[in-house]
Amino acid sequence: MNPENPLLGPGPLPAFDVIRPEHVETGIRALLEDNRARIRQIEAAPSPSFRSLVEPLEELQHRLSRAWSPVGHLNGVMNNEALRERYNACLPLLSEYGTDISQNEGLFRAFAAVREQEAGSLDSEQLAVVDHALLDFRLAGVALDGARKDRFKAVMLELSSLAAKFEENVMDATNAFSHEVADAEELAGLNAMIVSQAKERAVAAGRQGWLLGLDQPTYVAVLTDARSPALRQAFYRAWSTRASASGPTPAKFDNTQVMEDLLRLRHEAAQLLDFPNYAAYALARRMARSVDEVLQFLRDMATAARPAATRELAELEAFAGRRLDAWDITYYSERLQEERYNISQEELRPYFPLPRVLDGLFRVVANLFQVTFRQRSDVPLWHADARYYDIIGSGGQVIGGFYLDPYARPNKRSGAWMDDCVGRKELSSGGTALPVAYLVCNALPGADGKDAQLTHDDVVTVFHEFGHGLHHMLTRVKYPSISGINGVAWDAVELPSQFMENYAWQPEVLRDITAHVETGAPLPEDRIAQLLRTRSFQAGLATLRQVEFSLFDFRLHAEYDPAKGARIAEILAEVRREVAIIRVPEWNRYANSFGHIFAGGYAAGYYSYKWAEVLSADAFSAFEEAGIYDRGTAQRFVDNILSRGGSRDALDAFVAFRGRKPRIEPLLRQHGIANQP
């Protein structure tokens, strides 16, 4: 390997100041070649043991993840053609490598031998590493015959490329759209920062007037606050038809065939492994045990939410004085919320400057988990918006760190996410590494060099992603494959993130994280009370919307029939007839940009958000009972949830924390829809 390649350097953090597109493919190829050579040596060793087999493989995977993580991260936050080309060139290489390992019969037999011969001497973490690996071997087709194994490998390669193509099409369609405004009246209702940025964009493009992009903050602002119905409709159509042939963005970015191919190949992969469908295959690694259990859960949630949702929509249309189109819902919801609670998201922005929010968030986490944070200026970054923090344990030692990239910008993926930069490891043969996370949001940046001012929705998002980060950074697990978020059942992985959202709704926290940008005053008590009353505002509608997405996703993967194809539009229409009460236009194609299930890790798993929301509400109810900063409860949460990674079954971990199985009632109470007619 070339030691001068920054992806292969020995440093504890990525060298973002010197990583270039030309380093990507050469570095990854060299690393894969070296890993393969090491694996051949490991295979050839007699009498496999945990130390001679499992630990070296953990080290090799950690080394590969450490090199690839900055590449995948840059592809999401600083996308460009040169990087994209190298990134895409590596996807089949990585898929082939991963499949080769997981289909390696010699390694599978060696792991099975370790499980059989050393079970009595391995601790619970070590047993979990071995058991996870054995399951991965089976789910990757290690037991398939030659032809079926080769076909499974080919399917995995193609799926990897298709997922990347889906994401690229969404990003390209988003970036390709702009809306020129000549009359200032059309911008009425939008906040000054959005308008200012639109003016700057127009000047840069040599246009008159204002030029609005389709970045997420602009889209949300238009749908929420633009008084012009025509402007709202234009943005709703552009957003809900991205990467399709039904809207204003170029048809060359249409994801329809990509989606068909993804669903076809997922079904084929599942059937090669003797699962009836991809949904059943996905559940092999989940907390939920069966397809019927998930479907029943979603339908129970819809039944619980429907009375409230029906009432909420009727109230909203009565308030508007007419039947509402899909692009009117958010606007009139915001106006009704303002009238009912005398508060709006835009009005709250001056009280939530980002530095104050972060300082307050850090104090919440310090009170709960006895850790502190320190920003560093000596860490290479990829953009001026980004920053890096150490996380410091109660004994004063650095126990991990995280990068924060908070703002929307061109060529950055929309949405918010946490990802693994460096996984924790403590191997007898490979040394140690501290956990490091990426935390990415898409908030509206401040104007004229001033601090960004967040909406409360943005604040909830920051707390959410930080919960994921804590799950990664507070792990105590030694083995990378099951440390932090790794190895955690996908329908339980949102528990820590949704748990942390609760703190963004606590009065004492709101007093601490708010400071008006001009006066420094915290959010007044009457405004706090009004904001808190909005938490359950239209919770029924929001729940039905999530159930709609979840049921659509799960049915797509559970009901795929090769003779009929994916039936995407047909299944979506059936789901909407069953659970949705908001009418959407025929040309809506939101599935074409549904990256969670077509490009992310949520295929047959979008239900996980609601599933984990039940877990998080029930977990937080333990803090409500004992005190939201109760040390004993917080320590149990760390010991049983945050620190355990994938080393323990998710249900067992929850029961160990809560003392019983999860219940749905705390979530229904939190939403304000419990026991309502």
Query: Quick one: pLDDT at residue 10?
Result: 86
**Apex CA 264: angle with CA 569 and CA 239, to 5°?**
40
Of 307, 531, 409, 413, residue with least CA distance to 84? 413
What number of other Cβ atoms are within 10 A of residue 398's Cβ? 11
Asked, for residue 634, whether it belongs to a domain, the answer is yes
Exposed/middle/buried for residue 596 (C-beta within 10 Å: 0-12, 13-18, 19+): middle
Rounded to whole angstroms, the Cα distance separating 419 from 415 reads 13
- My answer on whether 426 and 489 are in the same domain is yes
Rounded to whole angstroms, the Cα distance separating 426 from 639 reads 18
- My answer on whether 659 and 525 are in the same domain is yes
Query: Quick one: pLDDT at residue 677?
Result: 44
Q: Which of 201, 229, 253 delimits the end of a domain?
A: 253
- My answer on whether 65 and 26 are in the same domain is yes
- My answer on whether 526 and 572 are in the same domain is no
Is residue 559 flagged as an active site residue?
Answer: no
Domain CATH for 124: 1.20.1050.40
Rounded to whole angstroms, the Cα distance separating 521 from 437 reads 33
Assigned token pair, 526: 């009457």
Kind plus residue range of the DSSP H or E element containing 375:
strand 372-376
What number of other Cβ atoms are within 10 A of residue 478's Cβ? 21
- My answer on whether 313 and 451 are in the same domain is no
Q: Which of 215, 232, 253 delimits the end of a domain?
A: 253
> 10-residue block means of pLDDT along the chain (677 residues)?
83 95 97 97 92 96 97 96 96 93 95 96 97 96 94 94 96 95 96 93 95 94 97 98 94 96 98 98 95 97 95 98 97 96 92 97 98 97 97 96 95 93 91 96 88 95 98 97 95 96 97 96 96 94 97 98 97 97 95 95 95 96 97 98 96 96 93 68
Q: Which of 583, 605, 627 delimits the end of a domain?
A: 605
Assigned token pair, 637: 């949460």
Helices 291-320 and 539-558, interaxial angle, to 10°?
140
Assigned token pair, 543: 């729940």
- My answer on whether 385 and 475 are in the same domain is yes
Of 431, 533, 470, residue with least CA distance to 66? 431
Rounded to whole angstroms, the Cα distance separating 607 from 200 reads 41
Asked, for residue 147, whether it belongs to a domain, the answer is no
- My answer on whether 414 and 503 are in the same domain is yes
Rounded to whole angstroms, the Cα distance separating 523 from 59 reads 49
Rounded to whole angstroms, the Cα distance separating 488 from 615 reads 14
* DSSP tag of 593: G
Asked, for residue 677, whether it belongs to a domain, the answer is no
Kind plus residue range of the DSSP H or E element containing 374:
strand 372-376
- My answer on whether 456 and 595 are in the same domain is no
Query: Quick one: pLDDT at residue 521?
Result: 96
- My answer on whether 567 and 641 are in the same domain is no
| Residues 6 or more apart whose Cβ sits within 8 Å of residue 198 | 181, 187, 210, 211, 212, 218
Asked, for residue 164, whether it belongs to a domain, the answer is no
Q: Which is it for the CA torsion 246, 252, 254, 256, positive or negative?
A: positive
- My answer on whether 241 and 269 are in the same domain is no
| Residue type, position 113, single letter | A
Query: Quick one: pLDDT at residue 230?
Result: 97
Residue 488 backbone class (left: φ over 0; alpha: ψ -120 to 50; beta: rest): beta
**Apex CA 362: angle with CA 359 and CA 367, to 5°?**
125
Of 509, 501, 499, 504, residue with least CA distance to 637? 499
State how many domains the chain has.
4
Asked, for residue 516, whether it belongs to a domain, the answer is yes
Kind plus residue range of the DSSP H or E element containing 419:
strand 417-422
Q: How far apart are the first and last CA of the chain?
A: 67
Q: Which is it for the CA torsion 473, 478, 480, 481, positive or negative?
A: negative
- Domain residues for the domain of 577 are 256-343+539-605
Of 303, 154, 314, 327, residue with least CA distance to 239? 327
Question: What predicted TM-score, i.e. pTM, was given to this entire model?
Answer: 0.88
* DSSP tag of 326: G
Q: What is the 3-state secondary structure (H, E, C) of 493-540?
A: CCHHHHHHHHHHHCHHHHHHHCCCCCCCCCCCHHHHHHHHHCCCCCHH
- My answer on whether 596 and 619 are in the same domain is no
Assigned token pair, 579: 């659970």
Q: Which is it for the CA torsion 266, 268, 269, 270, positive or negative?
A: positive
Rounded to whole angstroms, the Cα distance separating 417 from 401 reads 16
Of 660, 676, 668, residue with least CA distance to 613? 668
Domain CATH for 485: 1.10.1370.40
Domain CATH for 558: 1.10.1370.10
Asked, for residue 170, whether it belongs to a domain, the answer is no
Q: What DSSP assignment string belongs to 257-314?
A: HHHHHHHHHHHHHHHHTT-SSHHHHHGGGSSS--HHHHHHHHHHHHHHHHHHHHHHHH
Q: Which is it for the CA torsion 345, 349, 352, 353, positive or negative?
A: positive
- My answer on whether 363 and 328 are in the same domain is no
pLDDT, tens digit, for every residue of 113-170? 999 999 999 999 999 999 999 999 999 999 999 899 999 999 999 999 999 999 999 9
| Residue type, position 265, single letter | L
Q: Which of 312, 346, 465, 494 is catalytic?
A: 465
Q: CA torsion 667→671→675→677, rounded to 10°?
A: -140
Query: Quick one: pLDDT at residue 675?
Result: 53
Asked, for residue 161, whether it belongs to a domain, the answer is no
Query: Quick one: pLDDT at residue 448?
Result: 78
Asked, for residue 18, whether it belongs to a domain, the answer is yes
